[in-house]
Structure 1
Amino acid sequence: MHTLTPFHFLPSLDTPRAVTILGAGLMGRLLAVQLAHAGHHVTMHGIGGPDAEGSAARVAAAMLAPLAESAITEPGVVRMGQHGLARWPGLLAQLAKPVFFQQDGTLILWHRQDAGDAARLQQTLARTQGAVADLPAMQPLDSARLAALEPAVAGRFHQGLYLPGEGQLDNRQLLTALAATMQELGVAVHWHSARNVQDFRPGEAGQPDLLLDCRGLGARAHWRELRGVRGEVVRLHAPDVQLQRPTRLVHPRYPIYIAPKQDGVFVIGATEIESDDLSPASVRSTLELLSAAYAVHPGFAEARILELATQLRPTLPDNLPAIRVREPRVLEVNGLYRHGFMIAPALLDAVLELLHTGQSPLAQRFELRVQLADLHP
């Protein structure tokens, strides 16, 4: 592969163009809305319907937590997350329907026996703050400060960490709002339409000027480094639980996150599993998820299980996203891994820069790979 700057072989979007997007998940929908807003003629093909069934974006907690996620990722992704936090309010304001968005920080908790793991995590987060400018400082919490910040856990936890400024949104509301906005803007959407790059000849008569491939794991036949990383998420209705912000539990075997949504709904998940298996969740993993949630708040014992879902996240070998030109007029965006909602605005803006100017200062700032596919390995 060769790093290419500028992208002189992509058509400029300075004038209206016919753009076809493959993939109707988060990235495809964001690009469709922005390109249609700019006056381009956008067509989209997705394997699912408006609800994004089959998409990794549908099975997610949609937390926007760059400092918290720095425990398992690189500074460039943290910078993308910072960009996303600042960008999401403006993107949401353009949509045809409201989307739940909250920026009340992240709470990290642990039991006394896990204090050693918590101390190591705190050291990791401190290193990130030293390496990435403008991150709000994490705040250690004693019993009194923890009880004041999150009364629902008072008396059960005696210390914690608060990461101010971090946020979350409702992934399913967002996907629905993006679909409605595409309809308003006249995007020609073909639901339940599985198409491949070979089905198009961009630049020829009657064909799109530009093809954007945002299919996630659907692009594995062309991007062979892609792999699926399994995630398991349970959605609960627990109106008696009053957690106010995303909460993470430090645990050596099953660290979890709990993301409160609207109307007493909670999304609970755990760390990823290196597997392409899309079968239902196991009894063991379900018990661990629910037991850990109960350990945070006993009110979850009376919750109702709305859904227990599994999905595969599209991931590249280094667990980092990339933008790739497969051939002239064909641009691929993939590898969002577990950070999709956090980093999608950064990828969106980097792609738009590339398409308008042939280069992207944002991609350089985020250490985002922009490369040419090697079609003859």
Structure 2
Amino acid sequence: MTIDRNSTAVVLGAGLMGRLLACALAQRGHRVEVFDAGGPLAENAAARVAAAMLAPLAESAVTELPVVRMGQHALARWPELLATLAQPVFFQQSGTVVLWHRQDAAEAERFSGQLARTTTALPSLPHAQRLNAAELTALEPALDHRFAQGLYLPQEGQLDNRELLAALAHQMLLLGVTVHWNSPRSPAEVDPGPDTWLFDCRGLGAQPQWGALRGVRGEVARVHAPGVSLSRPTRLLHPRYPLYIAPKPGGMFVIGATEIESDDLSPASVRSTLELLSAAYTVHPGFGEARIIEMGVQLRPTLPDNLPGIRLSAPRRMQINGLYRHGFLIAPAMLDAALQAMDNGRSALAEQWGLSLQHTAH
């Protein structure tokens, strides 16, 4: 592609997707302008609350193959993207541990069966490894034989969501991106002209333009537990509220997450808080002495099939939305597909993954 150094792109929404896209466009040589309803801390974005786990095989138990394929692509792309940033971002690719209590053995068998079906369909994914109590403790000494068996999912990863959002905000400044914080805009309020690309990455803010979007409420605890030494993301299976624990630098842990079909953004409920923290305590009693730093609540932008989508709504007008609970897992794949669609009106990657790329007209 020959880059027009005088071309302009406007990005609406500076959550994870908007920031990644703005940086990529600026690196390509475009003059980029960004409008966001919040500030640099991304306080209105679902990405600020997320655990930022990069776990395509683990997520295959609750999603479809297109997301798994995109997650596998993104897991390889994240180190490349992070290497372009001036500020460091915590990134880890030490795999995922999956645990369950004896009474939830049936749920573990269901989960294991789904992982086996996924690796049959996608043989390039590393297979889950079943571990006994001694093997679990050797891998994660903090578990100290408290679980009779578990699974290890090799090569899965995670990053620090807030470090990444801050690094992307800083990178936009270095790249000369013009950012308008606390300045919500709809496409009609911007209308940059037919020769300028307009990208709508506003999540639920785009509901008036993409009526199928809905919000799915998620509640996440952020705790400081320096006495807990879990070294990689850990998932606890349960029929009603499967739990994840994602260790972050400095003894911080993100514990989540509820999933409630609601657009309610009120504070976390006592029930959800008790379920999350009690389950974490059963994984490691050291969480009993943790300090609750935050109970975060956000709405995940979701389409009817729970899969993401890209729409070319008019010439040089693109909407990217519906990342649901998989934002960090699939954002690099969505970025690469969007850039291909920008260049060609289609995306071979999107076709390969089964990602919805629609041409619509208003």
Match 2:312 to one of 313, 318, 325: 325
Separation in structure 1 between the aligned mates of residue 286 and residue 2 of structure 2, nearest angstrom? 53
Are 2:167 and 1:177 equivalent residues in the alignment? yes
| Identity across the alignment (%) | 65
Cα distance between partner residues in 1 of 2:121 and 2:191? 44
Secondary structure of the corresponding residue to residue 152 of structure 2: strand
Superposed CA offset, 1:252-292 (max 9, x none): 22211000000100000024111111100111110111000
Question: 1: distance between equivalents of 2:135 and 2:263?
Answer: 42
**Equivalent residue number for residue 143 of structure 2:** 153
Cα RMSD of the aligned pairs, angstroms, is 1.1
TM-score by length of 2: 0.98
Query: Which residue of 4, 17, 21 maps to 1:15?
Result: 4
Match of 2:259 among 254, 272, 281: 272
Q: Which amino acid aligns with 1:249?
A: L
AA partner of residue 336 (structure 2): D
User: Which residue number corresponds to residue 257 of structure 1?
Assistant: 244
List per-residue Cα deviations over 1:18-53 (Å, max 9, x = no partner): 000000000000001011011110000000111001
CA deviations on 1:333-375 (whole Å, 9 max, x unpaired) are 0000000000000000011111123321100111011102353
Question: What is the correspondence of 1:148-227 to structure 2 with a 5 Å cutoff?
Answer: 148-204=138-194, 209-227=196-214
Distance 2:257 2:22 in 1: 31
1-side partners of 2:333 and 2:23: how far apart?
A: 15
Q: Secondary structure at the match of 2:229?
A: coil
1:13 offset after TM fit, Å? 6.9
| 1:265-304 to 2 correspondences below 5 Å | 265-304=252-291
Per the alignment, residue 74 of structure 2 pairs with 84
1:367 counterpart = 2:357: no
The one of 288, 292, 296 aligned to 1:309: 296
From the superposition, tell whether residues 249 and 191 of structure 1 become closer, same or farther in structure 2 (CA, over 3 Å). Answer: same
Kindly provide the CA deviation profile for residues 203-239 of structure 1, in whole angstroms up to 9, marking residues without a partner as x.
35xxx61100000000001100000000000000000
Q: 2-side partners of 1:354 and 1:290: how far apart?
A: 43
Bigger shift: residues 37-46 or 194-203 = 194-203
Q: Which runs of 5+ in 1 are unaligned?
A: 1-11
**Unaligned regions of 5+ residues in structure 2, if any?**
none
Aligned equivalents of 1:190, 1:13: Cα separation in 2? 28
Show the counterpart of 1:9: none
Q: Which has the higher contact order (CA 8 A, sep 6+)?
A: 1
Query: Deviation of residue 202 (structure 1)?
Result: 3.8
> Paired residue for 2:105?
115
SS in 2 for 1:263: helix
> Does structure 1 conserve the Cα–Cα contact (< 8 Å) formed by 2:204 and 2:213?
yes
| Residue 235 in structure 1 maps to residue 250 in structure 2 | no
Paired residue for 2:38, among 16, 36, 48? 48
Aligned length: 361
The aligned residue for residue 59 of structure 2 is 69
Tell whether 2:90 aligns with 1:104: no
Given that 2:311 and 2:357 are in contact with CA atoms closer than 8 Å, whether structure 1 keeps it comes out as: yes
2:336 aligned partner: 349
- Matched position secondary structure for 2:343: helix
